[in-house]
Amino acid sequence: MYEVIETINLSKNFQDFWGRTKAKALDRLNLKIYRGEIFGLLGPNGSGKTTTVKLLLGLLFPTSGKIKILGSSPRSVICKKYLGFLPEESYLYPYQNAQEALFFYGRLFGLSRSVCKKRVDDLLDMVGLGKARLRPLKEFSKGMARRIGIAQALINDPEVVFLDEPTSGLDPVGTREIKDLILQLKEHGKTVFLCSHLLSDVEDICDKIAILYGGKIRCEGTVGDLLSKKTATQILLEDIPAPLLQELTLWLQAKGIKPHVEKPRERLETFFLNIIQQARMQQAPTSGAMQGIKKEDFFSQNPLPEKKEVNPVLAQLVQTVQEEPEELDAIPQEKEEEKKETLSPAAKGVLEHLVTSPKEEKTEVQPPPVAKESKGKKDILQKLLGGFIKKEQS
């Protein structure tokens, strides 16, 4: 494992015409991203994510500090041969069609006409735009433009891929496909640097994340480490009958352990917001967006018209969420003593098998679910990534 991307005390100040500092976009950023990792950079608007990506790609120059991409400067033309970049918006030429656009980017990498043509065909099929290859890009929807953007980022079979909001504008199916694609890239040893506001996406696919606020890294680590609760032990049970659950609870209470029975679920979104909230509580400086008005305030200022009919499904969902904790904690206190010693051998067996600590869980963690791809698409991807695998083997 070696560092593919490394920043050392990277700082960026934006200056006016006279050289006076207008804003501090990045403040001594230190990152190390290893080969084959999917790294997610998170942060609210104006936190410095895009600035970081631009610095890593040589579009902006650092005020101080160092950047190393594959061991060399990000402005090195040789280094750029191994990079792929999908920007936040698909900055494509509206007068080109999909095929012309990909062919153009392929030729920029010095690919021969025949290789370029083959790659263009394969990539267009892979992103599902084979039939729209001759349509002008100005007629493309945002989702289609994103797909072409992804295709152009992979045209050179890159070693490192920078993806800025890769799933924005895509429909759920497209989003899943892109996430699968990113995981496939990882399987083939590529390094992915991902910026996204869609926390669920990041949570699903990233190995490591960093949260940026006010140009500083507030938190960094593996997703498993950051999201696990270190002061508690989680017992994962299959859906067991309520009496058995009650039996287990009483047994634990008898042992002096106070169980907290619920369906544990820590969302990255909550965690992310907590980090940002902490930073705001500390009044950390940022030139980005500040906290907006609370929802309650917003609605009180902009009252919605009274709804006569409530969506029954939504209403049911809301009710379930509210009721769930009550159901799980509904163990009468007076019966606790009685149930202390009444744990059956079956319940004991279940406990022995299912008690796991978060640390152990991490070692056995399964890879994020990969949607089953059609054979054709997998083949194309294999073909596209094949070149890289061969190179590695040789």
Partner 1 sequence: MSAILAIAFKVFQEVKKTKPALLLFFFVLLLLLLFPFTLKSDGTLQGQIQLFLSYSFLILSLALYSNSIFFTTLSFTSEIKGKQFYLIDCKSVARWQFFIGKFLGIALLNLFSLFCMGFILLMLVIYIKETQGTPEERQDVQEKIFTSYQGYLPYIPLEKLQAMVEKEYSKRKAENRLPSNIGEDEIKSQIKMQIQQQLQLIPQGYQRIWNFYDLPDGLRNTDQKIKLRYKVYISEAGSGFLCKVSWKIGRGANTYILEDKVKAGEYFEFTFPASTIDEKNSLEVHFLHKEEKSGMIYFPLEKGIELFYPYGSFYGNYIRALFLIYFLSCFLIALSLFASSFLTFPVAIFFGLFVLFLGLITPFLLEISPLSTHTQEMAWEKITDILSYSILQFSFFVVPDFFYYAPTESLSLGRYIEWKILGESILKLLFLRSALFTLIGCFLFRHREVGKPIM
Residues that bind partner 1 (CB under 8 A): 14, 22-23, 25, 46, 50-51, 54, 57-61, 77-78, 80-81, 83-85, 87, 89, 91-93, 95-96, 100, 104-105, 107-111, 136, 152, 156, 162, 287-288
Nearer residue to partner 1 within complex by CB, 57 or 120: 57
User: At CA 62, angle to CA 57 and CA 66, rounded to 5?
Assistant: 85
Nearer residue to partner 1 within complex by CB, 27 or 180: 27
For residues 348-357, one letter each, b for 16 or more C-beta atoms within 10 angstroms of the residue's C-beta and e for the rest, the string is eebeeeeeee
Environment class of 53 (CB within 10 Å of its CB; exposed 0-12, middle 13-18, buried 19+): buried
Helix axes 113-126, 375-393, angle to 10 degrees: 140
What amino acid occupies position 156?
N
| 263 and 329 Cβ atoms separated by less than 8 Å | no
| 247 and 339 Cβ atoms separated by less than 8 Å | yes
Distance CA 213, CA 384 (A): 37
Nearer residue to partner 1 within complex by CB, 47 or 246: 47
Q: How far is the CB of 108 from partner 1 (least distance, A)?
A: 4
Q: How far is the CB of 218 from partner 1 (least distance, A)?
A: 18
Nearer residue to partner 1 within complex by CB, 110 or 243: 110
Environment class of 243 (CB within 10 Å of its CB; exposed 0-12, middle 13-18, buried 19+): exposed
| 185 and 168 Cβ atoms separated by less than 8 Å | no
Q: How far is the CB of 67 from partner 1 (least distance, A)?
A: 13
| 344 and 251 Cβ atoms separated by less than 8 Å | no
Nearer residue to partner 1 within complex by CB, 29 or 350: 29
Nearer residue to partner 1 within complex by CB, 87 or 169: 87
Q: How far is the CB of 104 from partner 1 (least distance, A)?
A: 6
SS3 87: coil
Q: Write out the two tokens for 338.
A: 């009685």
Nearer residue to partner 1 within complex by CB, 87 or 174: 87
Nearer residue to partner 1 within complex by CB, 23 or 240: 23
Distance CA 133, CA 124 (A): 7
Q: How far is the CB of 288 from partner 1 (least distance, A)?
A: 7
Q: How far is the CB of 283 from partner 1 (least distance, A)?
A: 18
Q: How far is the CB of 81 from partner 1 (least distance, A)?
A: 4
Distance CA 198, CA 165 (A): 8
Q: How far is the CB of 49 from partner 1 (least distance, A)?
A: 10
| 120 and 106 Cβ atoms separated by less than 8 Å | yes
Nearer residue to partner 1 within complex by CB, 106 or 174: 106
Beta bridge partners of 213: 216
Q: How far is the CB of 17 from partner 1 (least distance, A)?
A: 12
Distance CA 197, CA 268 (A): 11
